Structure 1
Amino acid sequence: MSFDVERIRKDFPVLSRELPGGRTLVYLDSGNSSQKPTPVIETMREHLAMHYSNVGRAMHVLGSESTEAYEAARDKIAAFVGAPSRDEVVFTKNASEALNLLAYSLGNRSNTDPRFTLGEGDEIVISEMEHHSNIVPWQMLAQRTGATLKWFGVTDDGRLDLSGDVITDRTKIVSVTHQSNVLGTVNPVAEIVRLARQAGALVALDASQSVPHHPVDVAALGADFVAFTGHKMVGPSGIGVLWGRQELLEAMPPFLGGGEMIEAVWMDRSTYAPVPHKFEAGTPPIVEAIGLGAAVDYLTGVGMEAIEAHERDLTAYAMRALQEISGLKVIGPTDLGDRGGTISFTLEGIHPHDVGQILDDQFGIAVRVGHHCARPLHLRFGIPATTRASFYLYNTTGEIDALVRGLHQVQKVFA
């Protein structure tokens, strides 16, 4: 069956919106945040209108319905990413919180498990292409514990440089992006895991840019932890996921204290609930989790293999189309192997902020401009910012053509 992008577009109300001045919306910023289909919107509306109550506490009908829907969402997400157990799916408010949760547990003085104790002489490894969410928590951990922060460099063509001895027998954790939010690069997870295992280190993946776009099986990846976020995968904001191997989650101390994460509380001590609830203190993002479950249903219905193939075709088309624009330089891989549907570029002599403003004001084209929360990567390439077009299941080749026409117009303005 062919991929029916026009049918899919009808599921996303905002794509039919007319912008001020009669412009048609061309949304090429899904790497930032995706748009939402009607089934997700209606599922959340229905729950708020007819079933809402707090979860895990109330004994009445609404409490039971809300808890059942919330936990059913956990089941859906576990199945979607191939988690061996639903209890390995921890709800957070986003991927940033998921990575902070993990970084907090390493080096926490309450933890005596040697896998989670860090100090001077120990090493943390990240990479130069990380989103700030996978840099700053590890910087804070290094400052808190005295451990050393190290990183893989990035080659001129936007690939991780694994040639050096960055991982050593002192490395305790390696945390890297599965797919770069700037370069589109899909990193060689199997090789990274192999190197980490040789050193006895844990492996975490920021999968915020991969889970929405590719079939992802966390068990097959071989990592110990995987973080991703709902708002990039046609789900709502305010909900994210940390998947972790169950025995590791059980060994980790809680991140936040409060209601629901406890087993019993005395005035001088507490015991904690089993995972995943040990990490879900307080009233959780109930409706957002249910919305993410609906998003998973939607993506599964379309088919992740089909989505991946559609984006691969769009990326190939865009790479060819952008070649006709003189002075345009793609930052990252120009070949289609091991890359996703994110293209960041510069236009000679024109600041990305000007590019984005003209595309929006004159053509209704939404792209991202700036350093995309990856400033060290831009410093690596000696540029302050890029323009980024990122594609998803609802984008078309016609929208790429519109982008190319818009970029030609940008150049005319600055000629």
Structure 2
Amino acid sequence: MLATVTLARPLRALPVLGADLPVTLADGRITNHVNLDYAATAPCLAAAADAVTQILPWYASVHRGAGAASQRSTLAYERARQTIGDFVGARVDDHVIFTRNTTDALNLLARALPSGTTVVGWAGEHHANLLPWGTTVSLPVPRTSGEAIDTLDLTLAGLTGPVLVTVTGASNVTGEVWPIAELTEVAHRHGARIAVDAAQLAPHRPVSLADSGVDYLALSGHKLYAPFGAGVLAGRADWLDSAAPYLAGGGATAYVAAEDGGYRVEWNEGPARHEAGTPNLVGAVALAAVCEALAESDRDALTAHEAALVERLREGLDALPGVGELRTFPVGHDRVGIVSFAVAGVPAPEVSAHLATRHGIGVRDGLFCAHPLSQRLLADASARVGADLGTSAVRASVGLGSTEEHVDRLLLGVAELIRA
């Protein structure tokens, strides 16, 4: 029996744009578009669009002008920083630095590490948290949360000097939530710091640097219903203030003077040190508007709604022959609104094309910028199903605005393809 969604209160208070977009199917029929690709880029929350509309008439230089528009833009930018800092539970002495996205934020942190820092991570990370670090201690993908904790504990016991542990908050392939609190406790017990890729976690669950003890957190606005090109790196100030600026240019400088055929530069401290150039005011304002709207919402109701949809989707896929779900941890492990699967005998691009052209559903197929993990999980799923599931998968992801009808339409489309 498919799961039934029960809500503590209606979710209409957080509408997203594009919920009623008409699309033309291959047979000429017109239907409403079903967006099940939130994990790639979430739709725009109406609150973000409204905030952008309000600031655009005042759009002007930030931190650089004395006029009324510039002053208002500067105030909006710094208020956005504070709002986002509150949303992620930033501590008093943390920095909240605006970036382009999670990838940009983690690359910034990689550039800011003290000399000789050892980076410890898992082989199953998204490429954004796999590639920026250079040489790392790569831990095997665990089978359980307990294994992840124990392996980290054993590894850190043998390391000296500065150490940074990097880990995803929730997998972009499986949606599975990692044991961040426990990993943070282990890291700190060994004198290490920990950075969390919260790109998939923050849109679905509350996150707090102060409550969790996490040292650094990165997220993307476009995953968080604010698709205006802004992301954030938030966390401990000391490494960031000691590092060379991520970008060299105006805004990062306190003073520049010509000297001996070159330039003597005094760099700013604080977030400005790593925000050279004209900042993305619109992106910052949009992201802050979403953070404020989510913070004021009933997060428990949103989580329950999403969990019921995911359960309905997983149960429906499990009932279909030759369909294998990708997962790292046991079946009942906590997860956010992401389910990846493959169909025996039908390449993933054909599945996604069928869903799009015959049912008006948008999903993603591929290896989801986490190639090592996706390839391993495909092999595991093939073994469970007893059939070759191919070399790539389909990912369906839900969020604000997703409904039972959307899930059921996808299940109908996959079942139709299997019967063909």
TM-score normalised to the size of structure 2? 0.88
Match of 2:349 in 1: 353
CA contact (8 A) 1:215 1:305 kept: no
1:24-173 mapped onto 2 (5 Å cutoff): 24-48=32-56, 50-85=57-92, 88-106=95-113, 116-118=114-116, 123-139=118-134, 142=135, 149-155=136-142, 161-164=148-151, 165-167=154-156, 168-170=158-160, 172-173=163-164
Task: Write the distance in 1 (CA, Å) between the matches of 2:274 and 2:360.
Answer: 42
Q: Residue type matched to 2:10 in 1?
A: D
Query: How far is 1:346 from its partner?
Result: 1.2
2:18 to 14, 18, 35: 14
Task: Write the distance in 1 (CA, Å) between the matches of 2:86 and 2:237.
Answer: 15
Query: How far is 1:189 from its partner?
Result: 1.4
Q: Residue type matched to 1:391 in 2?
A: V
- Matched positions, count: 390
Gaps of 5+ in 2: 1-6, 380-389
CA contact (8 A) 2:76 2:285 kept: yes
1:323 to 294, 309, 318: 318
2:8 to 2, 5, 21: 2
Instruction: Out of 167-176 and 185-194, give the one that drifted further.
Output: 167-176
Task: Write the distance in 2 (CA, Å) between the matches of 1:245 and 1:123.
Answer: 17
Residue 215, structure 1, aligned to residue 221, structure 2: no
SS of the equivalent of 1:310 reads: helix
Match of 1:286 in 2: 281
Query: How far is 1:393 from its partner?
Result: 2.1
SS of the equivalent of 1:266 reads: strand
Compute the RMSD of aligned alpha carbons: 2.0
CA contact (8 A) 1:154 1:160 kept: no
Task: Write the distance in 2 (CA, Å) between the matches of 1:220 and 1:387.
Answer: 35
Match of 1:110 in 2: none
Instruction: Out of 218-227 and 293-302, give the one that drifted further.
Output: 293-302
Instruction: Out of 36-45 and 254-263, give the one that drifted further.
Output: 36-45
Q: Deviations over 1:265-285 (max 9, x none)?
A: 122321122211111111011
Match of 1:176 in 2: 167
Instruction: Out of 326-335 and 386-395, give the one that drifted further.
Output: 326-335
CA contact (8 A) 1:159 1:185 kept: no
Q: Residue type matched to 1:304 in 2?
A: R
Match of 1:145 in 2: none
Q: Residue type matched to 2:9 in 1?
A: F
Instruction: Out of 267-276 and 166-175, give the one that drifted further.
Output: 166-175
Query: How far is 1:180 from its partner?
Result: 0.5
Match of 1:308 in 2: 303
Instruction: Out of 378-387 and 342-351, give the one that drifted further.
Output: 378-387
Gaps of 5+ in 1: 107-115, 143-148
Q: How high is the sequence identity, in percent, across the aligned residues?
A: 33
Query: How far is 1:193 from its partner?
Result: 1.9
Q: Residue type matched to 1:59 in 2?
A: A
Query: How far is 1:316 from its partner?
Result: 1.8
Q: Deviations over 1:219-267 (max 9, x none)?
A: 1221211000101111123100000123333333321111111111122
CA contact (8 A) 2:173 2:374 kept: no
SS of the equivalent of 2:296 reads: helix
- Which of structure 1's runs of 4+ aligned residues deviate more than 6 A? 157-160
TM-score normalised to the size of structure 1? 0.89
Structure 1 residues 57 and 14: CA distance shift in structure 2, 3 A: same
SS of the equivalent of 1:244 reads: strand
Instruction: Out of 93-102 and 154-163, give the one that drifted further.
Output: 154-163
Query: How far is 1:32 from its partner?
Result: 0.6
Task: Write the distance in 2 (CA, Å) between the matches of 1:41 and 1:86.
Answer: 31
Query: How far is 1:292 from its partner?
Result: 0.8
